[in-house]
Amino acid sequence: MKDKTFYPKKSLGQNFLQDPNVIRKIVDAVQPRPDDTIVEIGPGRGAITSHLAGKCRELILIEFDQDLAETLQKEYETDRHVRIIRDDILKTDWKEFLPANKVVGNLPYNISSQILFALYSHAPDVGEAVFMVQKEFARRLVAEPSTKDYGIMTILTRLYGKAEILFHIPPTVFFPRPKVDSTLVRIRLDSGNNQDIDDKAYFHQLVRTAFNQRRKTLRNSLKKITEDRFIPSVDLSLRAEALTFEDFKRLYHILKGDSPASV
């Protein structure tokens, strides 16, 4: 971004990436292609944007900071392949910019979960996401059962696709320096994944209820849902963190009354 210096706004959780080597690694991970539609959440001062513009069919920038959005608008006003939406990603209607091959961004730490929930609710219209998130948050996306990081976000990520950790990013490459380490993750979304779970809202409710009281056994945490029914092939004396994704699928089908052959 040219001609103007912007200082990070703490209220928006802004930390601007400024290391050219890390920027290059992120762009390499995104792998922009000429026929891609790419959505960038929170482009900020345009560190990644400048490397994506001109390398894809359409680049859609969603920027809440009006000063930054205005400058981006001026910088790319003659580029018909770049579109700027001045709005809060949590309030934006995603139908306005989807479908997209890729969604990328350096996500504010305090709203990462909310953005991923929004992403998953539009999973059929997105190919993959490449996000920079807090290191601890990244661990939750790829955690194994019976670990402290395993939880709601792990299960829901598996429901819609598969996450992988690409590389870790130190605080020193940002201005100002955050107090936490960051991680670049890729989430490949698959619209054909887990099609047997046709009531996604119910599956969400089941997983949330199980983990919201994760220190309790499933028999107690899910009491309002199971109504003390006998649940074959799922041990309700365990805690939620002990169940695999396949266990939750099995529990879902049983509670939905699906035929034994499909469970």
- CATH of residue 226's domain is 1.10.8.100
Q: Judge if 139 and 109 occupy the same domain.
A: yes
Same domain, 160 and 243: no
18 with 97, same domain?
yes
My answer on whether 80 and 204 are in the same domain is no
Among the listed residues 86, 95, 137, the one whose alpha carbon sits nearest the alpha carbon of residue 116: 137
Whether residues 118 and 242 fall in one domain: no
Q: pLDDT at position 176, please?
A: 67
> Containing domain of residue 216, as a range?
200-262
Q: Is the pLDDT score of 191 beyond 50?
A: yes
In what helix (H) or strand (E) does residue 254 lie, and over which residues does it extend? Answer: helix 245-256
Q: Is the pLDDT of residue 7 over 90?
A: no
Residue 8 has pLDDT above 80, yes or no: no
pLDDT tens readout for residues 34-68: 999 999 999 988 899 999 999 999 999 999 888 88
- CA-based torsion, 96, 99, 101, 103: positive or negative: positive
Mean pLDDT of the 96-123 span: 95
235 sits in the region (left: phi over 0; alpha: psi -120 to 50; else beta) called beta
Q: Do residues 234 and 150 share a domain?
A: no
pLDDT at res. 228: 76
Distance CA 65, CA 164 (A): 30
CA–CA gap between residue 125 and residue 98 (Å, rounded): 6
Same domain, 106 and 76: yes
Can you give the pLDDT at residue 263?
Answer: 46
pLDDT digits (tens, 9 = 90+) for 196-252: 999 999 999 999 999 998 889 999 999 989 887 888 888 999 999 999 999 999 999
Number of domains comprising the chain: 2
Domain boundary among 160, 189, 218: 189
In this prediction the pTM is: 0.90
CATH for 126 = 3.40.50.150
CA–CA dist 101, 91 (Å, integer): 21
